[in-house]
Structure 1
Amino acid sequence: MTTLPRRYHITTFGCQMNKADSERMAGILEDMGFAWSEDPNDADLILYNTCTIRDNAEQKVYSYLGRQAHRKRLQPNLTLVVAGCVAQQEGEALLRRVPELDLVMGPQHANRLRDLLEQVFAGSQVAAVEPVHIMEDITKPRRDSNVTAWVNVIYGCNERCTYCVVPNVRGVEQSRTPEAIRAEMEELGRQGYKEVTLLGQNIDAYGRDLPGATAEGRHQHTLTDLLHYVQDVPGIERLRFATSHPRYFTERLIRACSELPKVCEHFHIPFQSGDNDILKAMSRGYTHEKYRRIIDTIRQYMPDASITADAIVGFPGETEAQFEKTLKLVEDIGFDLVNTAAYSPRPGTPAALWENQLSEEVKADRLQRLNHLVSIKAGERSERYLGRIEEVLVEEQNTKDPSQLMGRTSGNRLTFFPGNIAELKGQLVKVKITEFRAFSLTGELDLGN
């Protein structure tokens, strides 16, 4: 009698770094003989890859965990794992709070999943949250797409923004070597991937911790150098990178993006607030004037580039006048998309302890007003695509309308158009844009190419 493979289910909260970590851990589990289960209730191993940036993500983890802890009391062979930033922050306290947990592991331990699970299967309850030096990863991730892939280039963050828990949970900056990054990308190219997004919590810091400076005294390992080094990997047609920090964004990087044909005309640069006093309280290390100069420089080199950002409203002490400066920045720049959030206090961060917290009502009101403006401006930005022929990388079928395919423009606008997925998946096709909305486009294949 053959035994069915053990099944696993991963639920991912939070950022792209977490998605990339989940894909790596899925790769490890499949190497160990586990098969993916769509339904967590059919899985023998459940892994929550958690995020602590916002309070509601953390609360969600606890409610999911409660349900599975109950199931484990009935099925003792169920393995429960919490990975990621909540795991790092709470550590052994999580094991005390949810004794049914088998393994709590911080994001730096993703590569060690096999070793840690072997300890669990030998009967231990394990908390792996001590800082480690990240080992070069040789396991192949199970990618959620077979057209686009994430590649981590730098882990951790040395910034100390007063609202952010990331440095506490993801550790100090550790850059991977250019050779390791290129080797991973070459393997992806061989496997048929067409687009790679280089990832880092603060990607512009890439290379600062690697040895080696040139004779002119300039460091030879910067994000710009890395783009030049990997831009010709065979099979990879498009390159993106995220997330950038305005403090380190250079004209040299912008120039490289405009010159290298595979680098997409899309920049994701969080501004967080349009008010200098709030930026200072956040310890962001730049002014709104500097931020505007960066965007002006991008638009000088690439007038059509897509600009997306992150913003926080309701930071402790933010006045109505200061919030209006954020609205003014959004109005003036005209972003293609802004990820917005109301400030929520995170444990272990300075801003969480300040007395001048704002009420939930004020935060919700500001968030709604900002979202309304973001949507209007995004619609104005989308209008420029109308009637144009855009190159779109075909990713998948539109789940809501199977007659349509979906993909993204170089500027990262989601685009829908009729077509056959079997013929076109993974292809770069020309699409004539016939309709625009704030955050997506519709078009038809341009067969005249």
Structure 2
Amino acid sequence: MAIELPLPPKVGMVSLGCPKNLVDSERILTKLRSDGYGLSPDYAGADVVLVNTCGFLDSAKEESLEAIGEAIAENGRVIVTGCMGDEAERIRERFPNVLAVTGAHAYEQVVGAVHDAAPMPPSPFVDLVPQRVDEAGLKLTPRHYSYLKISEGCNHRCSFCIIPSIRGDLVSRRPDAILREVEKLVAAGTKELLVISQDTSAYGIDIRKEPRAWKGREVVPHMTDLARELGQIAPWVRLHYVYPYPHVDQVIPLMAEGLVLPYLDIPFQHASPPVLRAMKRPANDAKVLERLAAWRAICPDIAIRSSFVVGFPGETEADFQYLLDWLDEAQLDRVGAFRFEPVAGAPANDLPGAVPDEVKEERYARIMEKTAAISAAKLQAKIGRTVAAIIDVVDDEGGATGRTQADAPEIDGEIHLRDAEGLKPGDIVMVEIEDADEHDLFGVARSTPL
């Protein structure tokens, strides 16, 4: 007589917010899968749904609340985690039927809540061989690129930010643990590492006297040392969220050598000294321009991405014009802009000189027009060059979409290939650039995959 075995429960996941949240979601699902849980791609097939929330801005919080509401309406059995988990009372007041609420990176509590909500059924057999889980863990990104979180928390106290109150002060991971993870990711197919944290350039300052053995040598927990080691394992290493400390200068030669991608994501936030002081950010804009020039002298192909806030309390028209003039000089490759939003608990909310919404919108439009023009000119200058690109998608009509070394996934531009015969996602090829617009490049592959 056949024995009908009970099926393991399935977990659904809604992951919101930044890549750091995405890494948290991957870790949670990896642990649940190792415990025997199945994964559901939709609400209908899930025994319980996890909503990993973002709590950085009020608009992000509202999006998180809407996602919780949708999960409850579609499934009914919901566990909330992530940055907004610190506002459990607010969540429970609006959604009294949520099963549990936990805070950011509270992995054990989340997994425990899932076990309570959807227990594993007893098995009539003794499981002599535990379920195998890929050593690289479960990924929510394509196989060929992976986010690598090297630290948690932040020691800065920017006036517009509440991240330290949510995620705490800086806590760096051991370098040997990071490098072991990277080896597993590369063995599983990762070609591009996207290094993330709240402040990547601060990596290791809390454990700087604790070098670790790796491959018969000591590795110092420092951004430069870690970047050098990563570059010897992964084909592409991309650095995000780099606060412009002086020692960032030491990374530029690694880019010139090809160990790290010539790409820096630095959140400058503004250029006007009065606004930067109000933000509690470094306010020496002239020094930044000097450093940009020095970096480009060492590594001419370096791409600088940054983000800026417009309409910060007290920002005058003169401050904003200062920012536009500074951007003309800085000639940044990729720029994102945000309209200032008050965030509950942020000191900036109490600053005088609130900027009207219509002025924020007008300034936002102007900065985007300015940066789009700079981007278009820079991309036009690349026509005729041959550059390395990683393939993300191959379409059914013989074309493909990828990214150059100057483009991070989802936030920067793309390169569109008109002839992708024989290519597949994850391939790195040399592409001759034939055309460009404000944000994207167009070309044809001129080499076989590397």
In the superposition, the TM-score normalised over structure 2's length comes to 0.86
Q: Post-superposition shift, 1:41?
A: 4.6
- Residue 272 (structure 1) aligned to one of 262, 269, 272: 269
Q: Quote the residue 1:82 is aligned against.
A: 80
Q: Post-superposition shift, 1:141?
A: 3.1
Q: Post-superposition shift, 1:47?
A: 2.2
The answer to whether 1:192 aligns with 2:189 is yes
Q: Quote the residue 2:371 is aligned against.
A: 374
Q: Quote the residue 2:64 is aligned against.
A: 61
Q: Quote the residue 2:293 is aligned against.
A: 296
Q: Post-superposition shift, 1:313?
A: 0.3
Q: Quote the residue 2:16 is aligned against.
A: 13
Contact 1:268/1:308 (CA < 8 Å) preserved in 2?
yes
Q: Post-superposition shift, 1:94?
A: 2.0
Secondary structure at 2:320 match in 1: helix
Alignment of 1:435-446 (within 5 A): 435-446=435-446
Q: Post-superposition shift, 1:255?
A: 2.4
Tell me, in whole angstroms, the C-alpha distance in 2 between the residues paired with 1:58 and 1:402: 40
* Change in CA separation of 1:338 and 1:387 when aligned onto 2, cut-off 3 Å: same
Structure 2: which amino acid aligns with 1:283? K
The answer to whether 1:163 aligns with 2:160 is yes
Residues 334-363 of structure 1: CA distance to partner in whole angstroms, max 9, x if unpaired?
Answer: 222111100001111101123422111111
* Change in CA separation of 1:371 and 1:79 when aligned onto 2, cut-off 3 Å: same
Q: Which deviates the most, 20-29 or 281-290? A: 20-29
Residues 59-103 of structure 1: CA distance to partner in whole angstroms, max 9, x if unpaired?
Answer: 12222322333445xxxxx43122221113x13432233211112
Q: Post-superposition shift, 1:121?
A: 4.3
Q: Post-superposition shift, 1:177?
A: 0.8
Secondary structure at 1:107 match in 2: coil
Q: Post-superposition shift, 1:377?
A: 1.0
Contact 1:247/1:286 (CA < 8 Å) preserved in 2?
no
* Change in CA separation of 1:290 and 1:15 when aligned onto 2, cut-off 3 Å: farther
The answer to whether 1:360 aligns with 2:357 is yes
* Change in CA separation of 1:367 and 1:291 when aligned onto 2, cut-off 3 Å: same
Q: Post-superposition shift, 1:154?
A: 0.9
Contact 1:178/1:229 (CA < 8 Å) preserved in 2?
no
Secondary structure at 1:69 match in 2: helix
Tell me, in whole angstroms, the C-alpha distance in 1 between the residues paired with 2:422 and 2:49: 33
Contact 2:136/2:188 (CA < 8 Å) preserved in 1?
no
Q: Post-superposition shift, 1:35?
A: 3.9
Alignment of 1:192-271 (within 5 A): 192-212=189-209, 220-233=220-233, 236-259=234-257, 261-271=258-268
Tell me, in whole angstroms, the C-alpha distance in 1 between the residues paired with 2:196 and 2:448: 36
Secondary structure at 1:251 match in 2: helix
| Displaced runs of 4 or more, over 6 A | none
Tell me, in whole angstroms, the C-alpha distance in 2 between the residues paired with 1:273 and 1:178: 33
Secondary structure at 2:355 match in 1: coil
Q: Quote the residue 2:400 is aligned against.
A: 405
Tell me, in whole angstroms, the C-alpha distance in 1 between the residues paired with 2:427 and 2:356: 49
Q: Quote the residue 2:88 is aligned against.
A: 91
Structure 2: which amino acid aligns with 1:242? H
Q: Quote the residue 2:329 is aligned against.
A: 332
Q: Which deviates the most, 330-339 or 304-313? A: 330-339
Count residues in correspondence.
Answer: 419
Tell me, in whole angstroms, the C-alpha distance in 2 between the residues paired with 1:368 and 1:157: 31
For structure 2, the 5+ residue unaligned runs are 120-134, 212-218, 408-412
Tell me, in whole angstroms, the C-alpha distance in 1 between the residues paired with 2:70 and 2:375: 39
Structure 2: which amino acid aligns with 1:23? E
Q: Quote the residue 2:380 is aligned against.
A: 383
Structure 1: which amino acid aligns with 2:305? T
For structure 1, the 5+ residue unaligned runs are 73-77, 123-137
Tell me, in whole angstroms, the C-alpha distance in 1 between the residues paired with 2:419 and 2:106: 42
* Change in CA separation of 1:111 and 1:294 when aligned onto 2, cut-off 3 Å: farther
Q: Quote the residue 1:132 is aligned against.
A: none
Contact 1:92/1:104 (CA < 8 Å) preserved in 2?
no
* Change in CA separation of 1:50 and 1:299 when aligned onto 2, cut-off 3 Å: same
Q: Post-superposition shift, 1:383?
A: 1.4
Tell me, in whole angstroms, the C-alpha distance in 1 between the residues paired with 2:255 and 2:371: 25
Tell me, in whole angstroms, the C-alpha distance in 2 between the residues paired with 1:179 and 1:448: 34
Tell me, in whole angstroms, the C-alpha distance in 2 between the residues paired with 1:422 and 1:5: 40
* Change in CA separation of 1:34 and 1:368 when aligned onto 2, cut-off 3 Å: farther
Identity %: 26
Contact 2:228/2:260 (CA < 8 Å) preserved in 1?
no
Tell me, in whole angstroms, the C-alpha distance in 2 between the residues paired with 1:103 and 1:258: 49
Structure 1: which amino acid aligns with 2:112? D
Tell me, in whole angstroms, the C-alpha distance in 2 between the residues paired with 1:64 and 1:288: 40
Q: Post-superposition shift, 1:22?
A: 2.0
- Residue 320 (structure 2) aligned to one of 315, 318, 323: 323
* Change in CA separation of 1:30 and 1:213 when aligned onto 2, cut-off 3 Å: closer
* Change in CA separation of 1:380 and 1:6 when aligned onto 2, cut-off 3 Å: farther
Tell me, in whole angstroms, the C-alpha distance in 1 between the residues paired with 2:14 and 2:377: 35
The answer to whether 1:48 aligns with 2:51 is yes
* Change in CA separation of 1:448 and 1:254 when aligned onto 2, cut-off 3 Å: closer
Contact 1:312/1:343 (CA < 8 Å) preserved in 2?
yes
Tell me, in whole angstroms, the C-alpha distance in 1 between the residues paired with 2:283 and 2:136: 39
Q: Post-superposition shift, 1:52?
A: 2.3
Structure 2: which amino acid aligns with 1:224? T
Q: Post-superposition shift, 1:2?
A: 5.9
Secondary structure at 1:188 match in 2: helix
Q: Which deviates the most, 41-50 or 238-247? A: 41-50
Secondary structure at 2:85 match in 1: helix
Contact 1:308/1:337 (CA < 8 Å) preserved in 2?
yes
